[in-house]
Every structure is written in C-alpha cells, then in structure tokens.
Chains A and B, each alone.
Chain A
Amino acid sequence: MKKLINAVDDVVKEQLEGMALAHPDYVKVHFDPTYVYRADAPVEGKVALISGGGSGHEPMHGGFVGYGMLDAACPGEVFTSPTPDQMYEAALAVNGGAGVLFLVKNYTGDVLNFETAAELAYADGIAVQSILIDDDVAVKDSLYTAGRRGVGTTVLAEKIVGAATEARYDLKQCADLARKVNKYGRSMGMALTSCTVPAAGKPTFELGDDEIEIGIGIHGEPGMRREKMKAVDEIVDDMMAEILDDGPYARTVREWDNEHGEWIDVELIDPPFEAGDEIIAFVNSMGGTPVSELYAVYRRVAQICEGRDINIVRNLIGPYITSLEMQGFSITLLKADEEILKFWDAPVNTPGLRWGV
C-alpha cells in the first residue's frame, strides 16, 4: 500500500486538521466527537442541514459545509458510518432554532446511526427530520436487499436543499424538497480499479487488468456485474440505458415523525425519465479518474440525451463523491423542475463547490 499518510489510525483526524487549517473562513472542525461545521454556525432562524457518512468520499461531505449547502458534516472512519454522538452533537451545535434536517445515504450503517441520532435530538427538544437518499439504479429490487444505495444524488440534494435553507424554507418544506430531489435523481457507477482502505492495507476487491466492475457503490463494494474492458462509449451506453430505461421504483422507507416522536413507514415511488424532461447531468470521478476522461464520458452522455429528447439544462463534472483512489466514474441524472433549478443556480460558497458569490 502506497498512500500519503502517517499512522493508519490518524488518517481521518489529520486530514480534517488539514482541512480546518486550509479553510478557516468556511469551516471549523470539532473533535471528540468529530464533526465539521460552518464557521458562522448556528445561523439564526435557518433550518440546519446535516449530512455525514464514512470518510474516503471527499470532497463529500465536509467539503460541502458552508453558505448555501451543509451546516455540518459528520465524517466516520474511512468507509465506516459515523456514530450517533457525532450527529447529535453536530445538531446541537448548528441548530439555529428552525430545526435540523438529516440527509442520509441509504447504507445500513448510516441509516441505523442517523436513526439513533434523530431519537437523541428529538429527546432534547430539537425539531428533526430525516430524508433518505436512495438513487443507485444498480440495485434492482428493494424487497430482498437493503434498497438502493445513496450515491451521486446526495451531492445535488445537499446543494439544492442547502440553498432552500438559505431562502428560509421551513423544516417541512426542506424535507419535502429533499424527498423530491431524491425522487427525481438516478445514478449508476462503475470501476476500472479497486481501492484500498488504509486500515485494511490491501485492495477491497480484486479486478483483473482487463476487467471492469459495473454498478459499483461508493465503498469499493463489488457491483452488479463484471465485464471485459471496452470503449468508453460502450460503457456509457450501458449505464445510460440502466438509468434512462429504469422503470418506476417503489419501496417503503422509514421517516421520523417529529410530531409524534416515532418512525413511520412511507411509501415512495420514483417516476422514470421521459422524453421532454429537463435534467441536471452530473458526471463524477471515483477519485482516480482524471477530469479529461470525465469529459469523454460527458460527450457520450450528451449525445444519448439529445437522441432521446432529454434536455441537459445544467451539468456538474468532476470528483465530488469519490471512493478513495478508485478509477471509475458515476453518472447521475436529476430531473429538474423550476424549484430545483432555482436552488441549483443559487449562490454556494463551500470549500468543494462555489459559484454565484
């Protein structure tokens, strides 16, 4: 294993220390428990948006803390969910009196820890809502699995809902918007190489020199199928077909009922894409793939959308939700209505995403 690290146990801590030193105008980092929070938190009267998850996906989530996006991010160990005390204390620190919205990627660990944190925050009298992001079409069924994973749409939801909090949407409006963004977003990822968790010291899975893994998640977990390497256009054709031809996706998720203080089952159905849709197209590097290759991907994405009368009205291209040094990419398409576009275009000022300021 070759990595730019000191002691394996100090990896996350030292990286966060570096981040705090690099961006003192944007963020502060609290240790024991660990969370990254806005330098000007709490913002009075604004809903506080909090996300978190395992480390190794940078710039997500810590790099998205700042004006117009997250109020706090809770980083766990590499590829390991953070713990409830982190989320709970982050909620206490950034709650501006208008409540706290958790954006949670659908991974069992993240879900169970955020559920515990929501109960703790509620018990302290903080209004709390929790919305699940589950957008990975590589997972076909929800009945016999833990459901679709939360991937690329998470970045877009953090941007869009973060802007809505700045516009002083109330907690319910923010939760409704987050649910809508998740409903309209679909993603698919692939890997050219595996990646190495520092504490494990060796690659999470083995992939031959001429092999690729299609349908990979963001933790180096194996995907839906393994194939021989082929041309980028062919790879993108396959992935875009999975996204664009994906039918309605129905499942039951748990949401926190802040009024009654209990978990309730909510039935959700994501509608498929249709000709005439306006979308935001997000082409993301898994960490090791250069931006130049992302443009080759985007070229094909744009061609396919044009051929299917789907109108890309905005795009985002770069490494935003990564899997350490893995080579590969993901595509996220988000159907964008007027409300979503308004908040997408709104100013954002974070270490990892910045425009309009």
Chain B
Amino acid sequence: MTVTKEQIVTWLEETAVVLNENKEYLTELDSPIGDADHGINMTRGFNKVMEKLPTVADKDIGNILKTTGMTLLSSVGGASGPLYGTFYMRAGMAVMAKEELSNEDLYKMLQAGVDGVVQRGRAVPEDKTMIDAWTPAMSALKAAVEAGDDTVTALEKSVAAAEQGMKDTIPMQARKGRASYLGERSIGHQDPGATSSYLIINALLETVKGV
C-alpha cells in the first residue's frame, strides 16, 4: 500500500481544517504555560499554506512539502514557525521527486522532519515539547513498518503512540521554550506543541483511511 501525492495534498488540507477547528483549544492550552498564541499562529500559517498549495499541487511530494515548510517558516513566527517549517522542509527533502510513498518512504520522510526539529530546537524527550509526541509516534511507526503492517494499521499505531505521548506531557515539567520559565507550575498542563503534532499525524491517518 502506498501514499499518493494526492493524499499528501489532502493531508495538508485536512491539517488546515483540523487546526482551524482546534484554534481556540490550542490557544487555551498555550495560555497557562505559554503566551496564548499557538492556535492563532498555526492557523495563520496553514491558511497561508492553503493559498500556496494550488500553485504546487502538480509538483512532486518533496516539492509540495518543501513549499509547505517555507510558507510556515515565513508566516507562523514564534518557536513553532522555524520548528514546523524545518519539519516540512526536511521531510520534503527526504522524498524529493517522489510521486508516491511506500511505508518505508513515509517513515523516512517523517523521521527526517523530526530530526530537523531536534536539530533546530535542541529538545530531548521529556522536555515537554512536540518531541514528546513525535518520539513515541516514530518508534511505533518504525516497528509497524518493519513488521510489515499496512499503511493504515501502521499509522493507527503511530497515532495512538502520539496521543499517549501528548497526554504524557501533562505531568512533565517543561525544560524548553517559554513554559520552562514556570518551573513546577508547568506541571499539570498538556503541551500545546505536542498537541498540534498529534493533530497533524492524526490528520495523516484520517486522510489515508479516506474518512
């Protein structure tokens, strides 16, 4: 089973829809431990991506994702801009010229994106960041791909791990980003970046499932 270029475009569209639906939720999560703008910034960025997407929809997957990353980089701001911008740009570079993705390609693409985020933001697991959603999600995806699961099953496992990773940020004390200034007061709140990351990978699953 493969993921087609059309599905990648649909994934980005679905991501924009889901982020817009969760705009206030993400901003609310960002209020007690951040600066109350995560939902606002992410929707601004993905609305820009939606404007750009028609101009690159006929290009290969690598180019589509790279354009997505460049657009986020110049429109989101905050820490999320360079982090998500880097995520999509690196993901795109890993699948340049491809029109469809095998499960291995899909894993390679997402892992390249996550590696880029780690390099830029220098976060490690349990810092209470988006990495806490991505790390278990990628481990689960890797195991599923190696076990020969079909795409939907592999992504289902990955999304379940991302959701658990997102929830696991609640008891963590933040060590990166603005939330880190709160020290122990950051405990008890779910990380907004881990949440938007979960929404993004879940949007990929929903797209591949075709619902």
Contact = CB atoms under 8 A, between A and B. Distances in A.
A204 B79 contact: no
A197 B28 CA distance: 13
Given A85-B74, A146-B180, A221-B178, A204 B82 contact: no
B36 A116 contact: no
A81 B77 contact: yes
Interface stretch (A58-66, A72-80, A156-164, A293-301): A72-80
Interface string A98-109: 000000000111
A19 B186 CA distance: 38
B121 A108 contact: yes
Contact of A80 (B32, B78, B121, B175): B78
Contacts of B178: 107-108, 146, 217, 219, 221
A221 B179 CA distance: 9
A5 interface: no
B27 interface: yes
A80 B37 contact: yes
The binding surface of chain A is classed by DSSP as loop
Contact of A200 (B40, B180, B182, B183): B40
B75 interface: yes
B27 A144 contact: no
B116 to A, nearest CB: 12
Nearest to B174: A145
Interface string B166-205: 0000000101111011110100000000000000000000
A83 B74 CA distance: 5
B180 A33 contact: no
B146 interface: no
Contacts of A197: 35-37
18 contacts: A77-B44, A80-B37, A81-B81, A83-B81, A85-B74, A107-B178, A108-B79, A109-B77, A109-B79, A109-B80, A109-B81, A112-B121, A145-B180, A146-B177, A199-B37, A200-B36, A204-B36, A205-B31
A220 B33 CA distance: 11
A84 B78 contact: no
